[in-house]
């Protein structure tokens, strides 16, 4: 009897912890879905106005890096306040705007719309695959994140270098590596939420959004190269 009483608070604490993890995960998925709306809106504004397309690659890259890191810093500063969600949504609008150059190029193909839908579908498959895998993997994946982070930094440096080199083969190689790296990062980020390593749903949404964004962008680039038609 005493043993049962002693185990009761422990069980209640475990249930409360599981409930908190489920709540964070649920809020993350909801905010992630909502964040797609300003992303699409930003891409539409960029394609319609051509504001990003008129910039040179150097200027748009500087704007992208400065704006992205500025927004990420602001999100981390406001993630525990009521301003956190609006700042995150502003960031996703900005990311959609910066994606508009690629979107416009793909829409220049006769099958551009179908390529965009294929990239979206492929990204969805990756997301649901990683989310499902994260629920069954028992191993702690936090150590893997360090290696992936180094890989992303190298990828970023190589991408900046390729702006000046304009190497097609290198671009394709980087796109394939980006899909692999950010798919793995997606698994790690979702698993961290499931395990309770991330308790702020705004930070969790930011991490998974960046994974999805990079997978989609890389898939779309590859589809444009290998599947785009001019007829």
Q: What is the pLDDT of residues 21-44, one digit of tens each?
A: 889 999 999 999 999 999 999 999
Phi and psi torsions of 196, nearest 5°? 85, 10
Mean pLDDT of all residues in 191-220: 93
Average per-residue pLDDT for the chain? 88
Give residue for tokens 């709306």: 37
What pLDDT is stored for residue 109 in this prediction? 92
Q: Residues 214, 100, 94, 55: what is their CA dihedral angle, to the nearest 10 degrees? A: 110
Pick the residue with more confidence: 164 or 88? Answer: 88
Listed ranges 16-30, 78-92, 134-148; the one with the highest mean pLDDT: 78-92
Average pLDDT of the segment spanning 218-231:
88
- The token pair that represents 209 in the structure block: 């959004």
Tokens of 127: 């997301």
Per-residue model confidence (pLDDT) at position 31: 96
Question: For 197, which DSSP code?
Answer: S
d(CA 9, CA 204): 29
Q: Give me the residue label for tokens 């609006």.
A: 86
Q: Among residues 133, 153, 151, 129, which one has the least CA distance to residue 141?
A: 133
pLDDT band for 14, please (50, 70, 90 cuts). low
Distance between CA 227 and CA 122 in Å, rounded? Answer: 14
Could you tell me the maximum CA-CA distance found in the chain, to the nearest angstrom? 79
- Mean pLDDT over 132-161 rounds to 86
Mean pLDDT score, 152-170: 83
Q: How far apart are CA 46 and CA 117, in angstroms?
A: 18
**CB of 200 closer than 8 Å to CB of 80:** yes
């Amino acid at each position: 009897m005493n043993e049962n009483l002693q185990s009761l608070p422990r069980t209640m604490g475990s249930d409360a912890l599981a409930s908190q993890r489920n709540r964070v995960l649920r809020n993350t998925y909801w905010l992630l879905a909502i964040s797609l709306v300003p992303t699409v809106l930003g891409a539409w504004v960029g394609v319609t106005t051509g504001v990003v397309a008129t910039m040179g690659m150097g200027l748009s890259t500087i704007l992208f890096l400065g704006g992205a890191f500025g927004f990420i810093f602001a999100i981390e500063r406001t993630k525990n306040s009521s301003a956190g969600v609006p700042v995150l949504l502003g960031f996703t609008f900005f990311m959609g705007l910066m994606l508009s150059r690629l979107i416009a190029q793909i829409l220049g193909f006769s099958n551009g719309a179908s390529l965009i839908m294929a990239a979206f579908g492929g990204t969805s498959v990756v997301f649901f695959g990683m989310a499902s895998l994260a629920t069954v993997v028992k191993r702690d994946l936090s150590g893997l994140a360090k290696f992936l982070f180094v890989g992303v930094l190298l990828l970023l440096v190589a991408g900046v270098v390729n702006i000046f080199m304009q190497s097609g083969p290198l671009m394709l190689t980087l796109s394939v590596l980006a899909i692999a790296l950010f798919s793995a990062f997606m698994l790690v980020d979702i698993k961290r939420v499931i395990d309770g390593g991330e308790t702020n749903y705004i930070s969790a949404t930011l991490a998974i959004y960046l994974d999805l964004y990079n997978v989609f962008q890389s898939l779309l680039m590859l589809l444009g190269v290998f599947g785009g038609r001019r007829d």
